[in-house]
Amino acid sequence: METLIAASFDGFLEGAWNIGKVLIGLGFVIFVHELGHFLVAKACGVQCDKFYVGFDVPIRIGPLRLPGAIFKVQWGETEYGIGTIPLGGYVKMLGQDDNPNQAEEEASRIRTVNEDGEEVLNPRSYPAKNVPQRMAIISAGVIMNLIFGILMAAVAYKIGTPIQPAAVGGITYGSPAWKAGWKSGYDLVGFSDDDEDSFFYRYTWDLRYAVFGAGMEGSKAVPFRVVDRQGQKRTSHVLPVQMSNDGKQRAVGILSATNSTVADTTTSVDSKGEEVESVLMPGDEVIEVEGIAISFDGYGPKEKRQRLGWEVREAFAKNPGKSIKVKVLRTGSEVVLTIPPMKMNGPGFVLGIGPITSFQEGSKAVELGFQLGDVIEKVNGVKLDTVGAIQLPQYLDAFDGQAVTFSVRRGSEAEASLVDITVPDFESGVTHLARVPNAVGCLTSLGLAYSTSHLVTASSVPEVKVGDELVATQYVQRAESAPGENIDSELLPVESMSQYWTWFYVHSSSQSAQTTFRTKLIFEREGLSELVEIVPEWVAVEGYFQPSRGVAFNPLMRVHQVDGLGEAVSQGWIRTKQDLQNVGQTLGWIADGTASVRDLGGPVMIIKVAKDEASQSVTRLLLFLTMLSANLAILNFLPIPVLDGGHFVFLTIELITRKPVSERIQGTLSVMFMFLLLGFMLFVVFNDIIRIFL
């Protein structure tokens, strides 16, 4: 109990410290913006009455009254402080006030009488300065954000920041990346025709944005620059595809890269219903498999490079039915272990093999005569009813090196015929179980992907009959998982079987012992008006094994570190420029209706993501603040009254017409857009809360 309390307290302190770093970082970005206005205003001789991070508006909720400022101090002519409302900041200059209700009072403050008795503006007031000076003051905040964005990124790259690289850790069969011939171990070093090659593009940010952008712009292929395992570079034009029924998610079909350190192991169930634990433990670093050393990643400082998880993953899956010897680093010592096979679990019935859906680039299957829509029915004259779609790849392992004749059904149901295709020297290849919703089956050595028919072809479960069709699945809570806290099953969605929710995914996800939820399967039966619903027991299937051996690995982290200060600044500028382009592109999508404002993140999401980045490292937080600075720079300079961009538009009109825009017009527009911005902010915050908690 004392250990548990200590761990909880340590976790609380770590979380509090990360939140503290985020608040300091966000406050710094706001401070830098306002500092730009302040310094240029002072340089132009303008009197600055206030300099605040946050807004010092008193808050009254019934009898409760909160002060406007958390901290404030008067130094010279300026009051410096931290406001209670943490939604921005401001510099209050003499003669300038965005509140129309105080505009007249402010205007009277700056009127003075000169020696000749004429009424003139106070020379230290903001309106008394010429247009170029006021333009410089207004634009200084944005410029300062850009400068410090570059500097923050430069510091991150000089210290060295760990990033999850845009590298291929695995391939989803049938996906665009698979069709293009990509393999585990490939690196993506560019996403357009004009960006620079780099092995330090980020999987979470740069790759996902490129894929998201392609989806926003319709059927647009991304010119990925790919470096293969041998270091050869080529360009693959890959079109991201829809990954969900609602069409919002798009992907190219790759899994993020991992290192060779064990993150987690899953519990399997043997044929007797007993749980089987893995011999590997979280934290073990696999350094050798079957006498072959695992390679180090080739990029970043040598002393910080990690071993490649994809090599371990391939070695584990090569002979899934055999025990293998591995050497691991465990708490600093080398340990040799024997990892036994882990049996594949099944629900007691088999679903049939579906049509061939796609071929890989350079596919051997195409050369041999396989066609899209073909359905594999027999192998060497033996029907595959008891094998099914899931077990087919491992069933074919027994024919490795032999001539194999596939009998495929070709043509429409009314005109179908069996066609025999012989593979002279069959290679079984390595096949993984993909845990993605649109997963399909694959014969990797032939380069063909296939679906499932969803029709039961064999069953030992009394409730399920041959010919039943699986139409949907639903997760249901295990009765013993949370007594007295049952979840209404109606709150858990029913997923219809489709190209975005497949049996391959359901089957793969059910391999580990679930402590909280079980999978309910829903069937249609010919001649029966009601659906058949069962919650099957998943038990070990003799002769079939899990390629992963129940082991998951940690994400590969590649440290991006540069040597010289000049190179650090150069990389900082590249990072800032790319962030600016992304912000501008996103605003363009929203303006033309391609994207929705519901996809935007507000203050809540900013803090959440910033906390996640801060938990990784301070340098990751710096890169996030660079992106935030780019956002703040562009958004603040939009031509909207109340924002810096709106003031700049008024000044441009004044420069052209030689007279200022009417204060009444400026005031009316400012009030109108102030309420619009406040309403939009409330909408974004509410949308953040919905996305996080629902």
Please check the confidence at residue 2 and state whether its pLDDT lies above 70: no
What pLDDT does residue 250 have? 80
Strand order in the sheet with 69-75: 69-75, 78-83, 48-55, 85-93
What would the DSSP string read from start to end of 238-279?
E--EE-STTS--EE-SEEEPEEEEEEEE--EE-TTS-EE--S
Q: Could you report the per-residue pLDDT of 279-306, keeping only the tens digit for each?
A: 899 999 999 999 999 999 999 999 999 9
- Do the beta carbons of residue 504 and residue 440 sit within 8 Å? yes
Enter the tokens of residue 106.
């402010």
Average pLDDT of the chain to the nearest whole number? 87
Q: What's the pLDDT at 4? A: 40
Residue in 394, 312, 310, 386 with CA at minimum distance from that of residue 348: 386
Token reading at 667: 């005031």
List all residues 6 or more positions away from 424 whose beta carbon is below 8 Å from its beta carbon.
403
499: which residues sit within 8 A by CB, 6+ positions away? 438, 451
Between CA 323 and CA 331, with CA 328 as vertex, the angle to 5 degrees is: 140
> Is the per-residue pLDDT at 427 higher than 80?
yes
Kindly state the average pLDDT of the residues 189-209.
Answer: 89
For position 7, what pLDDT does the model report? Answer: 44
What are 533-579's pLDDT values in tens digits? 999 989 899 999 999 998 999 999 999 999 999 999 999 999 999 99
Per-residue pLDDT at 1: 45
- Amino acid, single-letter form, for residue 224: F
- Of 560, 688, 616, 554, nearest to 206 by C-alpha is 560
**φ, ψ dihedrals at 586, nearest 5°:** -65, -40
Say how far apart CA 357 and CA 411 lie, in whole Å.
Answer: 14
β pairing state of 417-423 and 404-410: antiparallel
650 touches 96 (CB < 8 A):
no
Cβ neighbours around 539 below 10 Å, total: 15
321: left (phi over 0), alpha (psi -120 to 50) or beta: alpha
φ/ψ of 127, rounded to 5, equals -65, -20
Contact 41, 626 (CB under 8 A): no
According to CATH, what is the number of the domain 348-537? 2.30.42.10
651-661: average pLDDT: 90
Radius of gyration of the chain (CA): 31
Half-sphere exposure of 139 (CA within 13 A, CB side): 13
**466-491: average pLDDT:** 72
Q: What is the pLDDT of residue 608?
A: 82
Among all chains, which residue has been given the structure tokens 């519901």? Answer: 598
Q: Looking at per-residue confidence, does 365 or 271 come out higher? A: 365
Rounded to an integer, the average pLDDT of 162-169 is 95
Which tokens is 519 given? 């999978």
- What is the pLDDT averaged over residues 141-151? 95
| Mean pLDDT value of segment 306-329 | 95
Provide the pLDDT confidence category of residue 245 given band limits of 50, 70 and 90: low
- Please state which of the ranges 152-156, 374-378, 516-520 shows the lowest mean pLDDT: 516-520
Distance, CA of 503 to CA of 450 (rounded, Å): 12
Place of tokens 């090659």: 197
Lowest mean pLDDT among 205-209, 309-313, 324-328: 205-209
327 versus 517: the higher-pLDDT residue is 327
- For residue 619, count other CB atoms closer than 10 A to its CB: 23
For residue 480, what pLDDT band results from cuts at 50, 70 and 90?
A: low
SS3 442: strand
pLDDT at res. 601: 72
Residues carrying CATH 2.30.42.10, the chain: 348-537
Write out pLDDT tens, residues 362-398: 899 999 999 999 999 999 999 999 999 999 999 999 9
Q: What would the mean pLDDT of 645-674 be, rounded to a whole number?
A: 86
List of residues 6+ apart from 418 with CB closer than 8 A: 377, 378, 407, 408, 409, 410
Name the class of domain 258-343: mainly beta
- Point out the least confidently predicted range of 35-44, 187-196, 312-321: 187-196
Q: Is the predicted pLDDT of residue 676 greater than 60, yes or no?
A: yes
Q: How far apart are CA 155 and CA 210, in angstroms?
A: 26
d(CA 187, CA 308): 12
Percent of the chain with pLDDT over 70: 88
Across residues 175-189, what is the average pLDDT?
95
Q: Widest CA span of the chain, in angstroms?
A: 112
The 3-state secondary structure of 23-77, one letter per residue: HHHHHHHHHHHHHHHHHHHHHCCCCEEEEEEEECCCEEECCEEECCEEEEEEECC
Q: What is the pLDDT of residue 210?
A: 86
- With a CB cutoff of 8 Å and minimum separation 6, the contacts of 53 are 27, 30, 31, 34, 81, 82, 83, 89
